[in-house]
Structure formats: C-alpha cells, structure tokens
Amino acid sequence: MRHRISVRPALAALSALLLGACVERGDFGRVKRNSAWNDMLEATGSVAAAGRGEPVSPYDHTDDERELRDRAWRFLVPAHDLAWFERALGELAAKRILPPDAGAGDPAAYFGALQRDGALSPASRYRRLSEDAAADARLLPKLADVAARVFAADGVRMKTLGYAGRVSAADIAQAEARVAENRCLVAWVAWGLDRRLAEYRYALEHLVIETPQAQAVPAERSVAFLEAQRPALARLGVPPLASADCAGRGRVPAAVAVESAPSPPALVRKG
C-alpha cells in the first residue's frame, strides 16, 4: 500500500515566510498602524491562534494595550534584521500566525548576522552589539510600566464583571480572554528577552574569541545593563510562557478571575 505524502505543511510554511517578509513597519521597527496588509495579517493571526486554542478576544484595545503591543514587538522578533529567516518566523509568531515558540531560533543567529554584514569591522560589530543591548535596556522599564497599568485595568475589568447586571457568558469569556492575552503577551516578552540575552552573550563570547579588542568592554557592560533590567518584568508576577496560563488553553489566571463585589470599584481616584 502506497502512503500519500501531504505537501500541506510545506506549502503552509512557504506561505508563512512570504507573509512574514511583507509585514509593514513604522517607526522603531514597530508594525505600521492603519495598514490594510498588516490588519489582514493580524486577522489571520487571530484565527490561527484561536485554532490552536490560545485566548483571543474581539474587544477593542485600550490605549495602554495598544502601546504594550507596540513596545512588545521589539522583543518578539530577532535583534538583527540580517537574521532574515529567524526574523520572518519571529514576525509571523508576533502576528500570531505561528505559535510563540516558532521563532525560538538558534542562539548563534545574532552572531551569524553580525558576521554576514561585510560592511562592519570588528570594532563596528562590538558597537552594534553594545547599541542593541543598551537600547533594549532603556526600553524595557517603560514596557514594564505600561504592562503594570494594563494589569491594573484588567483587575478593574474582572471585578466589574462581578457586580454588573445582564452580563452574558460571552461577555465573561471575552473579558477573560483579553486578560489572558495581556498576561501571556508579557510572558512572551520575558521569553523573548531571555532569548536576546542568550544571543548577545553568545555573540560577545565568540567576538572575543575571534577578534579580541578593547571594544568588548563597553559591549559587555551593555549586556550586563540589560540583564539588570530583567527584574522589572519579574516583578509583574507573570508565569513563564510555557505554563498552564499561557499554553493555549485560554484559562484566565486565578488572580484576576471574576469575583463578586458588594459595591462598584472606584474607576477614578481623587488626590
């Protein structure tokens, strides 16, 4: 009996790479807003994520949720744009067309991209590494601040469900899905940060082995500076990406589950 070989996975992968190459970017490498092509990719990603059982909510994003997604983009894709294959996978994962770990890649990818850029001297490679790590370190605390505001708003959202009248099961499911989306996004950023740190460390070590120069010192300091910012995410209390809360089951963490409230929480505080 002859076994039939399906070409569907290969075609899907090829289509994904073509889509990833066409993501339109705006300032700072973020996804361009109000782009019909990017909107189509986002809709495709929502369908794909829902098909994998991941939490997907149709609710509009708050301003903070939009800013969180803009800021998260940097940490969801590879650091070097010449790591084109890894970046294509990363962009497709960031659009949720592929699962989050699809862009896991190789710790050597960043170093390989530095080496492939023939216009860079050894000193310029160290400088690029230093600048990339330092930029990540400067952006991370602000991302953590925005995430904290999003989580606080999620707490209000879930408490409101506990006392609001005429709330349907669909309302509850969509609110829980948005809370899970937000928490899993931050878990994904933490995973992406750890991946970047591993790539930076690999590149620094191999640059020193191949071309030891004084420029290695500021590069090492920049990587250490980025590592020192890691607790800003840890303080948010988000579990690892691979945990039950972020494994595609759509479960909202108990800490923000619907609760009954005797009186409405204050949405605006004085003073």
More confident: 29 or 103: 103
Tokens of 196: 């970047």
- The values of phi and psi at residue 31, to 5°, are -65, 135
Write the pLDDT tens digit of every residue in 188-205. 899 899 999 999 999 999
Specify whether the CB–CB gap between 194 and 147 falls below 8 A: no
Least confident stretch, 14-28, 42-56, 166-180, 196-210: 14-28
Q: What percent of the chain has pLDDT over 70?
A: 61
**What is the helix (H) or strand (E) element at residue 73, kind and residue range?**
helix 63-76
Which pLDDT score, from 0 to 100, does residue 77 have? Answer: 83
Kindly state the average pLDDT of the residues 2-16.
41
Is the model's pLDDT at 84 over the cut of 90? no
More confident: 86 or 193: 193
**Burial status of residue 82 (CB atoms within 10 A of its CB: 0-12, 13-18, 19 or more):** middle
Specify whether the CB–CB gap between 13 and 6 falls below 8 A: no
Least confident stretch, 74-83, 195-204, 224-233: 74-83
Which pLDDT score, from 0 to 100, does residue 154 have? Answer: 94
Kindly state the average pLDDT of the residues 223-235.
95
Which pLDDT score, from 0 to 100, does residue 265 have? Answer: 45
Residue linked to tokens 């939490």: 55
User: d(Cα 140, Cα 190) in Å, to the nearest integer?
Assistant: 10
Specify whether the CB–CB gap between 31 and 24 falls below 8 A: yes
Write the pLDDT tens digit of every residue in 106-139. 888 899 989 887 777 999 999 999 999 999 999 9
Least confident stretch, 12-16, 87-91, 159-163, 194-198: 12-16
User: d(Cα 176, Cα 45) in Å, to the nearest integer?
Assistant: 19
More confident: 113 or 46: 113
User: d(Cα 248, Cα 241) in Å, to the nearest integer?
Assistant: 10
Q: What percent of the chain has pLDDT over 90?
A: 36
What rounded mean pLDDT belongs to the chain? 76
Write the pLDDT tens digit of every residue in 133-186. 999 999 999 999 999 999 999 999 999 888 877 888 888 888 998 998 899 889
Quick one: how far is CA 199 from the chain centroid? 16
Kindly state the average pLDDT of the residues 54-69.
88
User: d(Cα 239, Cα 116) in Å, to the nearest integer?
Assistant: 36
